[in-house]
Structure formats: C-alpha cells, structure tokens
A and B are shown apart, each in its own frame.
Chain A
Amino acid sequence: MFFDWYRILGWMGNGLYTSLVIFILNIMIFYNQAFRAEGQTADMAAMGATMFSCIICAVNCQIALTMSHFTWIQHLFVWGSVATWYLFLLLFGMLPPYYSEDAHKILVEALGPAPIYWCTILLVTVACILPYLAHISFQRCFNPMDHHIIQEIKYYKKDVKDQHMWRRERSKARQETKIGFTARVDAKIRQLKGKLQKKSSTLILPNRMPSPC
C-alpha cells in the first residue's frame, strides 16, 4: 500500500532536486555578491554554514509537510531540530578558535547581521518544498486516496450528516487489497506449495478473510 518503488524513487528524486536547488542557489547567491554591509564577499565557512542551514530548514519543513496528525511532541522535535542547529552554531562559535576553527563567532558576527543569509534560507526552503507541496495538493484535489477521503469526511463531519456516503466508504474497505509484486509472488508460491502437498483446502490467504464489520 505505502511501500512501492515509485514512492521510493520519487523521494530519491525529490532529494536530488533538493540538493541541486540548495547547491546551485547558494553558489549563485554567494559567488561574487557582497555579503556584509561593508561590501566584503562571503568566505567558504559562511557559505558552508548557510548551505547547511538551508538543508536543515528544508528537510525539517518537508517532514512537517508530510505529517497529517500533529502532537506537541512532533512540533517540539521538528522545530526543536532547527532551533538546536542554531543553538549549536551559537555555542560552537563561542569556543576558542583552536576548537571552532573557521566557525568562530560565525553566527554572532558573520551570519546573524547579514540579511542575505536569512533571505537565502527563506528562498531556498520555499524552493525545496514547492514540488512536494504541489504534488500533495494535486493528489488531494484530483486523485485522492482512501485515507484522504476519510480525513475529509471526518473533517466536515459528513459521517454524521451523510450516512449513505459513510456506508459506501466503509463497504469499500472490504474490497480486495492490491499490494506489492513480491507479496503476490509469495502468495503464489505458497499457493503452489499448498497444491503440491494437496492441502489446498487449508490454505487461507489473509485478504480473503471474512471481515467482522
């Protein structure tokens, strides 16, 4: 149901797109443009930290976008991760330069006061999550899955008002499930084995089970 190769490849493609967007936009923005108010350009440490901030923000916004059921723990972890990154950058920058090397006071003195840093993060994050946002919006509007429909029904309280519709949705759940190629092959092998041992009558496939509801 949720485990197919299209999905995995889709996410991998999404990762490829995200990495391309993050790298190309960052390189283009920091290539020869002034970074500080006095007109100095960014060095590699500043660009690296900006790129990493973009990755953290994009990846965490992406997972926030996929969640349909929020609890406060999820909020804490998702936005806490972004906060942890900035906290780390702040504390790491406070260490003496012997330990922090090129990241010494990077947030306080280099990145923080530069508006281009914050603008870049915003731009890159939005650019990264746009395709997935378009995908889920399109799917929900034009090609909804069963759980989307049930969510909408519950959200608009249709199950109370429109009994007919609700009954139809419930009966749909009794239809046969279609999942993965390997599972079907396995089922076929089991079936053949059963026939071989002439015990085919005892073989019950899980999806043919009578439903209790």
Chain B
Amino acid sequence: MRAACLVDLFLFVSLNGFFCFQICYFFYKNIAFGLTLFYFEAFTAFSGQSVYNDWYMLLFNVILTSLPVISLGVFEQDVSSEVCLQVCPINHLAIFMQLSPFTSYLSAMIIMLFLHSAVPSIVSARA
C-alpha cells in the first residue's frame, strides 16, 4: 500500500517536469515586464517617471500572473500517469533521486541573496 503511494508520488513529481519550467517562466515574465520599465526609463533620460501606474506593478506578480503558473505546476503532465507507468517509471525515479543538487542551487541562491543585498548597502554606507 505504502509502496504504491510512493510510486504515485514519484509519478506526480516527475511528470510535472519538476519546478524547472516554473522557474524559467518566472524569469521570463519578470524579464519581459521589468525590462520594458527599464527601456522607458532610458527613453525618458532616467527622469524617474514611471510608465505604469503603481497599482499595475504591484498586482503584476501578486494576482495577474501568479495563478496560471501555479495551476501549471500542479496539473501539467507530459503524458498521463497510466502511460508513464507502462513506459517504465524507474527512470523518472532515477531522475528524482539524482536531482538532489537542487539544494546546492538553493544554497547558492541564498548566498547570492545576502551578497547582493550586502554589497550596495556597504558601498553606499562607505561612500
């Protein structure tokens, strides 16, 4: 019984292609949004004028583009689970077990986060 649940769990996790696409899409949408803001700043000679209303920018990541990517993460599957079981689940299992370096990605991100927040504040405090 428990083993069957485990197979289902692995199928669920591996079928979803993991978190990868969600991360890529997150990059994509924020680059697409943020760079237009930057272009407009450059266009107005960095006067600090914002082309969007504050509320648009606030709601962009909170409401307007967050739900589709969550639904994709939860419901998307390349092939249905029965097919995946027929075509041999063990490879997905292997991928799942080998993807442990995610923790290394995560720790690298967190270190970068501290670094990137520390550098400007230290530099501006010294200047």
One of A8-16, A108-116, A133-141, A193-201 at the interface: A8-16
Q: Select the residue from A59, A77, A173, A206 with max chain B CB neighbours within 10 A.
A: A59
Checking B21, B40, B69, B83 against A23 with a beta-carbon cut-off of 8 angstroms, the contacting residue is B40
Residue B72 is within 8 A (CB to CB) of chain A in the complex: yes
Contact mask for chain B residues 84-109; partner A; CB cutoff 8 A; 1 contact, 0 none = 01111111011101111100100000
Indicate if the CB atoms of A52 and B52 lie closer than 8 Å. Answer: yes
**A150 contact set on B, CB distance < 8 A:** 78-79, 83, 87
A90 in the interface (beta carbon within 8 A): no
CB of B127 within 8 Å of the partner chain: no
Q: In the complex the two chains form, is B79's CB within 8 Å of A154's CB? A: yes
Chain B residues 1-40 with CB under 8 Å of chain A are: 17-18, 20-21, 23-25, 27-36, 39-40
**Separation of A180 and B18 alpha carbons in the complex (Å):** 14
B68 in the interface, Cβ–Cβ < 8 Å? yes
Total interface residues in chain A, CB < 8 Å = 74
Tell me, yes or no, whether B43 is within 8 Å of chain A by CB.
Answer: yes
Main secondary structure of the interface of B (DSSP, over half): helix
Q: Interface residues of B toward A: which range?
A: 35 or more
Q: Confirm or deny: A209 has a beta carbon within 8 angstroms of a beta carbon on chain B.
A: yes
The complex places the Cα of A5 from the Cα of B76 at a distance, in Å, of 22
Interchain CA distance A8-B18 in the complex, whole Å? 14
Q: Cα distance A25–B52 when bound, in Å? A: 16
Which single member of B33, B52, B85, B93 contacts A206 (CB below 8 Å)?
A: B93
Once bound together, how far apart are the Cα atoms of A102 and B49, in whole Å? Answer: 13
CB <8 Å contact, B94 and A63: no
Please provide the 7 A-B residue pairs with the shortest distance between their CB atoms, ordered closest to farther.
A15-B31, A19-B35, A11-B24, A147-B78, A173-B88, A18-B32, A3-B20
